Amino acid sequence: MTTRAAAQPLAIREHRLANGLRLYLIVDRTAPVAAVNIWYHVGSKDERPGRTGFAHLFEHLMFQGSENVSKAEHLTLVESIGGEGNATTWLDRTNYFATVPAEWVELILWMEADRLATLLTALDQENLDNQRDVVKNEKRSSYDNQPYGSAYIELFALAYPKGHPYHHPTIGSMEDLDAASLADVRSFFETWYAPNNAVLTVVGDIDESEIVAAVERHFGAIPANPSIPAHPDLSLAAPLGGEIRKTIRDRVPEARVHFAFRAPVLSAPLVPAVEIATQILAGGKGSRLYRRLVRDEQVAQDVSLSLLPFAGGASIIVGAATVRPGVENDAVERAFVEELERLAAEGPTPSEMERAKALTESEELLVRSDPEELADAVGMYATLLGDPGRINRDLDLALAVTAEQVQIAARLFARENRIVLWYLPEDRP
């Protein structure tokens, strides 16, 4: 096997404000840009029954104006200086980010601080009603009216029992959003949006002392919340314990099978081996699943398999294959499962290990070369693991994975840990 030189460790500078805000800086002179990424440790797992969808709702409300930035002006300003920005919500977090020419980085810091400190001054019933409708339209377009759009909602509902914080979808319940009062929404913001529940990462062509001074200037006076609640218990009462199957007839062009498997949490030692296993099985056109299902037997149009790592309880491995027209559905499921079970039974070949590690190394180096991706990764590890330096160990951990560890990881694909979800065209027998 080829010996690779270890990647140079990134110099991550940490500063902590008196109000609890954690700031991480990485200087990168490659290009005259800077990425700002702020992670709030609140996601859909932190929502209480009857009030789901709030974490995602705030992803929208945070762009609806604050004391000094008018409604929808935030992204307009970012784009006017040649930058781009957005936000995402997931089970474990909500994050906001922008990449701009480096000389404009303080504008982004000021706007982020302004909406953290003063969002509630602009949050009124009109804004709430408007963004509630936006979320409903998003659900219709991305989930309800999108072929296979509900797959993750269905898989998560099957993988995590009712009542578990990961069971309900991040988009939330439309009934819950309709029932939400302005007081409910304001309370959610006051509870979770605080500097001591945030991680701010800045990566790019920056001056460390200037950024620290700017962050102190704009964020330093924002008070901490001394009573942020504990995150909910994510432990699972029992393992999956047996294969779960479900079939949905819907307006889909072709039959598609989705798979899901419970997996170790983000911090678990087996996670690098799980990721190498998914590379061997579905990482590009040289992978086992692609070669057999798409190229050789031509029973599927596409294949996928990847790990979605979570902070607690269990992560989830998700995969799918779309049936080629004229092919029996069972042939696709059978071939997919046989490849999973063969990896567990026989383990990977040396050439497969080499290829998977090369792909992983390439992906890792791409993250390191992109300020936005790098800021996001540091924010993730700092928020969910309290370990921003994990980014410096990721590649070494992946390259150290053995064939035996991959074979152990592949045991996660066993029938007793398997969810099989079929989508079938509603207009065909």
pLDDT at 275 over 90: yes
Averaged pLDDT of the chain: 95
* Stretch 325-329: mean pLDDT: 96
* Predicted pLDDT at 2: 47
381: left (phi over 0), alpha (psi -120 to 50) or beta: alpha
Q: Identify whether the C-beta of residue 379 lies closer than 8 Å to the C-beta of residue 316.
A: no
One DSSP character per residue, 323-373 reads EPTTS-HHHHHHHHHHHHHHHHHH---HHHHHHHHHHHHHHHHHHHH-HHH
First to last CA, the chain: 51
Q: What percent of the chain has pLDDT over 70?
A: 98
* pLDDT tier for residue 323 given thresholds of 50, 70 and 90: very high
- Residues contacting residue 274 through CB under 8 Å, at least 6 positions apart: 263, 264, 307, 317, 409, 412
H or E stretch at 157: helix 151-159
Q: What percent of the chain has pLDDT over 90?
A: 91
* Stretch 188-214: mean pLDDT: 98
**Tally of CB atoms within 10 A around 260:** 25
pLDDT at 15 over 80: yes
* Stretch 203-228: mean pLDDT: 98
One DSSP character per residue, 291-316 reads IIIIIIS--EEEEEEEEE--SSS-EE
224-235 per-position pLDDT tens digit: 999 999 999 999
* Predicted pLDDT at 174: 86
- Residues contacting residue 48 through CB under 8 Å, at least 6 positions apart: none
Give the predicted TM-score (pTM) of the model.
0.95
* Stretch 95-99: mean pLDDT: 98
Q: Identify whether the C-beta of residue 66 lies closer than 8 Å to the C-beta of residue 123.
A: no
pLDDT at 189 over 70: yes
* Predicted pLDDT at 6: 54
* Stretch 306-316: mean pLDDT: 95
pLDDT at 113 over 60: yes
* Predicted pLDDT at 199: 98
* Stretch 56-77: mean pLDDT: 94
